[in-house]
């Protein structure tokens, strides 16, 4: 299954207040494994960058001044996203900005049924714990030493690793189903285990009843017991 893990950086918290999306980073997963395909873009917001937002992601007005506007890169972005489920941390925030930008340039909003929120997954799996991306990376031993400031592609790459851990870890590829290889005739792994058992000759059942001599010896042994337990216990109640 193809999934896209993504993250955004913005000028603020709410597009309804005039804030815009300025960076998006996307990582492609197929069957919860990174394929190496990514999408990354900066966008000119057409407005000033608040100092508090720049302090978080480091994207200045000067840096963004020569970047394309969102409508200029939207087609390439949508082609990369395709119809895959979209995974984000606190996904409602990212979906709100992405859909606002799509609406402003005349595109349909992305259906929320495609949204996978790793924040919700983390809260369900670790109630009462810290659920920030940094805290969860520390919990799962994901190296974030190179994360000095927020960056959409870097955060998406970290989140892709975290998502795999939250949904089964490195063992999610293990399966008990028989999935034949492309060329079953040349790959022994394609043959179900039960069909690969070596045929063995059927052996006749061995006699287990005691011989007459063994019965006599047992009776002689029992007769020498003094006050055996089964005589003192009485009949079963």
Q: What's the CA gap between 161 and 142, in Å, rounded? A: 7
Q: What's the CA gap between 114 and 119, in Å, rounded? A: 15
- The per-residue pLDDT for 52 is 96
φ, ψ (nearest 5 deg) of residue 5: -95, 130
- The per-residue pLDDT for 8 is 98
Q: 165-202: buried (b, 16+ CB within 10 Å) or exposed (e) per residue?
A: bbeeeeeeeeeeeeeeeeeeeeeeeeeeeeeeeeeeee
φ, ψ (nearest 5 deg) of residue 83: -110, 20
Least confident piece of the model among 31-35, 225-229, 233-237: 233-237
- How many Cα atoms within 13 Å fall on the side-chain side of residue 51? 0
Q: Where are the alpha helices (DSSP H) in 19-69?
A: 51-57, 61-64
CA 118 from chain centre, in angstroms, equals 9
Which residue's entry shows tokens 């179900």? Answer: 192
DSSP state of 11: S
pTM: 0.71
What is the per-residue pLDDT across 76-132, written as a single tens digit (0 to 9) for each? Answer: 999 999 999 999 999 999 999 999 999 999 999 999 999 999 999 999 999 999 999
Give 224's contacts (C-beta < 8 A, 6+ positions apart).
none
- The per-residue pLDDT for 173 is 46
- The per-residue pLDDT for 197 is 47
Q: What's the CA gap between 196 and 67, in Å, rounded? A: 61
- The per-residue pLDDT for 225 is 81
| Pairing status of strand 2-10 against strand 21-30 | antiparallel
- The per-residue pLDDT for 83 is 97
DSSP state of 183: S
Report all structural domains of the chain as residue ranges with CATH numbers, in order of start.
Answer: 2-170 (3.30.420.10)
Asked if residue 9 belongs to a known ligand binding site, the reply is yes
Which of 184, 153, 160, 158 has its CA nearest to residue 40? 153
Give 79's contacts (C-beta < 8 A, 6+ positions apart).
none
Better-predicted residue by pLDDT, 149 or 237: 149
Residue among 19, 89, 131, 150 flagged as catalytic: 150
What is the per-residue pLDDT across 148-199, written as a single tens digit (0 to 9) for each? Answer: 678 899 999 999 999 999 998 765 444 444 444 334 333 433 344 344 445 5
User: Does residue 146 have an active-site annotation?
Assistant: no
Asked if residue 94 belongs to a known ligand binding site, the reply is no
Asked if residue 52 belongs to a known ligand binding site, the reply is yes
- Tell me if 1 sits within 8 A of 35, measured CB to CB: no
Asked if residue 28 belongs to a known ligand binding site, the reply is no
Asked if residue 7 belongs to a known ligand binding site, the reply is yes
What is the per-residue pLDDT across 22-54, written as a single tens digit (0 to 9) for each? Answer: 999 999 999 999 999 999 999 999 999 999 999
- The per-residue pLDDT for 221 is 84
């Amino acid at each position: 299954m193809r999934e896209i893990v993504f993250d955004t950086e913005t000028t603020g918290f709410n597009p309804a207040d005039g804030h815009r999306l300025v960076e998006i980073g996307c990582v492609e997963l197929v069957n919860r494994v990174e394929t190496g395909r990514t999408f990354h873009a900066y966008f000119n917001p057409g407005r000033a960058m608040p100092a508090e937002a720049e302090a978080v992601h480091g994207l200045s007005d000067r840096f963004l001044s020569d970047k394309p506007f969102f409508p200029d890169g939207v087609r390439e972005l949508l082609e990369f996203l395709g119809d895959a489920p979209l995974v984000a941390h606190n996904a409602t925030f990212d979906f709100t900005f992405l859909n606002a930008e799509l609406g402003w340039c005349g595109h349909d909003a992305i259906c929320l049924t495609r949204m996978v929120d790793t924040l919700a997954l983390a809260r369900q799996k670790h109630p009462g714990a810290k659920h920030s991306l940094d805290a969860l990376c520390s919990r799962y031993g994901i190296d974030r030493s190179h994360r000095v400031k927020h960056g959409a592609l870097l955060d998406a790459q970290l989140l892709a690793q975290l998502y795999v851990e939250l949904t089964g870890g490195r063992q999610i590829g293990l399966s008990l189903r028989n999935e034949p290889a492309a060329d079953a005739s040349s790959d022994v792994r394609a043959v179900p285990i039960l069909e690969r058992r070596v045929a063995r000759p059927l052996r006749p059942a061995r006699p287990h009843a005691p011989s007459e001599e063994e019965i006599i010896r047992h009776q002689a042994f029992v007769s020498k017991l003094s006050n055996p337990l089964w005589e003192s216990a009485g009949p079963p109640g």
